[in-house]
């Protein structure tokens, strides 16, 4: 395992037993607060600046306009779903960024996906998230391209009147049938990454080539043994999912790289949180947790991710060398 703070490597301590319930409670509070902030709307409208189609209300496809696409990024949001305290643009902007780096994007509201499927008994939180990610990918055609034509035909007239019909961008070269998959998770979404990249898990996703985790949680203190290159980005001021409490047992995994961002809080990449959001769980008497945007940390994180994608053959430069 590699860990970088100002380009220095340090060993990660083991989990403190109290940490699991601590950030588990905070994530529950985040879920409740963000649900209230968005007025109970399960799936917000598609961002005006993106070209996207919903396979169903909880899964959206954002095609890259790149002439050659290197794979698909499956985006797994945090505990609040696709809206963060009423901000429904964060993840669509993230999709735009991955599109610009030669990746098609599946944006998955895993909670809604699971509920719409009838709440199947597929395991714990991480296993449910991994199941939803795979369910989204299962809507991809046998050639590896999103079945755009079939899905468009299934969109009802009412939805068609509210959303643009999607076409493959001119010059768009689809990836091969077994296209590379990169999982990208925020906070609670990271739980799905730990499951999907663990060969010992019943929800292991063998087609995943790499993973990126923003300030991920590890509520069940599971051992972290990613079988693929995995980049973790966390702030050293994160008091929601602190790195030392997040990690149950990382050992010396050669596939795990952790970048600790100086002074960054939880949700450091959410631009709508320029004014810090302070919360406590339990309310008033509980431990304080801060969510706050940091432009410096965000820019550093994006540079790290761009380099990570290229090195692993998933970015625009990477797909040129891979083919």
DSSP single-letter state for residue 3: E
pLDDT(275) > 90: yes
| Residue 59: per-residue pLDDT | 84
Q: Which two tokens stand for residue 123?
A: 């395991």
pLDDT(162) > 90: no
E strands along the chain, which residues?
2-4, 53-56, 59-62, 71-76, 103-108, 181-186, 208-214, 229-235, 256-261, 277-281, 287-291
Mean pLDDT for all residues in the chain: 77
| Residue 107: per-residue pLDDT | 92
| Residue 201: per-residue pLDDT | 94
Say which CATH number the domain at 227 has.
3.40.50.1820
DSSP single-letter state for residue 143: T
Q: Which of 3-7, 22-26, 55-59, 298-302 has the lowest mean pLDDT?
A: 3-7
pLDDT(175) > 60: no
| Residue 235: per-residue pLDDT | 95
% of the chain exceeding 90 in pLDDT: 48
pLDDT band (50, 70, 90) for residue 249: low
pLDDT(135) > 90: no
pLDDT(9) > 50: no
Q: Considering only CA atoms, which of 174, 168, 181, 104 is closest in space to residue 323?
A: 174
Rounded (5°) CA angle 168-169-174:
60
Cα–Cα dist 166/74, whole Å: 19
pLDDT band (50, 70, 90) for residue 13: very low
Q: Which domain holds residue 139?
A: 2-322
| Residue 140: per-residue pLDDT | 58
pTM across the whole model: 0.78
pLDDT(12) > 70: no
| Residue 125: per-residue pLDDT | 94
| Residue 228: per-residue pLDDT | 97
Tell me what the mean pLDDT of segment 25-40 comes to: 49
pLDDT(189) > 90: yes
| Residue 203: per-residue pLDDT | 95
| Residue 287: per-residue pLDDT | 82
67-95 per-position pLDDT tens digit: 899 999 999 999 989 999 999 999 999 99
pLDDT(40) > 70: no
Q: Is beta strand 208-214 parallel, antiparallel or unpaired with respect to 71-76?
A: unpaired
| Residue 313: per-residue pLDDT | 92
Q: Considering only CA atoms, which of 220, 61, 319, 250 is closest in space to residue 234?
A: 250
Quote the number of domains for the chain. Answer: 1
pLDDT band (50, 70, 90) for residue 202: very high
Cα–Cα dist 197/210, whole Å: 8
Tell me what the mean pLDDT of segment 308-315 comes to: 94
pLDDT(323) > 50: no
Tell me what the mean pLDDT of segment 165-184 comes to: 60
Cα–Cα dist 9/7, whole Å: 7
Instruction: Name the more confident of 68 and 249.
Output: 68
Q: Which two tokens stand for residue 108?
A: 């998955």
| Residue 148: per-residue pLDDT | 45
């Amino acid at each position: 395992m590699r860990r970088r703070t100002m380009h220095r490597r340090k060993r990660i301590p083991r989990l403190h037993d109290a940490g699991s319930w601590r950030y588990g409670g905070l994530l529950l509070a985040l879920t409740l607060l963000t649900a209230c902030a968005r007025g109970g709307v399960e799936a917000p409208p598609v961002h005006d600046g993106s070209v996207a189609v919903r396979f169903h209300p909880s899964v959206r496809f954002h095609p890259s306009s790149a002439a050659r696409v290197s794979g698909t990024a499956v985006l797994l949001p945090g505990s609040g779903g696709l809206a963060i305290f009423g901000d429904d643009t964060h993840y669509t902007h993230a999709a735009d960024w991955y599109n610009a780096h030669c990746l098609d994007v599946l944006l998955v509201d895993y909670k809604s996906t699971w509920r719409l499927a009838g709440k199947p008994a597929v395991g714990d939180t991480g296993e449910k998230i991994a199941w939803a990610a795979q369910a989204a990918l299962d809507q991809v055609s046998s050639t590896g391209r999103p079945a755009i034509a079939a899905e468009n035909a299934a969109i009802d007239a009412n939805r068609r009147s509210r959303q643009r019909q999607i076409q493959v961008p001119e010059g768009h070269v689809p990836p091969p049938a077994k296209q590379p998959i990169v999982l990208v998770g925020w906070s609670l979404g990271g739980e799905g990454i730990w499951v999907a990249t663990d060969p010992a898990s019943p929800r292991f996703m063998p087609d995943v080539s790499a993973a990126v985790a923003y300030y991920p949680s590890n509520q069940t203190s599971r051992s972290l043994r990613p079988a693929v290159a995995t980049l973790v980005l966390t702030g050293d001021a994160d008091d929601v999912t602190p790195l030392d409490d997040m990690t149950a047992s990382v050992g010396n995994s050669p596939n795990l790289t952790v970048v600790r961002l100086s002074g960054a809080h939880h949700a450091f990449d959410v631009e709508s949180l320029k004014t810090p959001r302070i919360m406590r769980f339990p309310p008033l008497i509980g431990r304080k947790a801060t969510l706050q945007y940091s432009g410096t940390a965000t820019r550093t994180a994006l540079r790290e991710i761009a380099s990570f994608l290229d090195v692993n053959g998933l970015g625009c430069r990477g797909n040129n060398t891979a083919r």
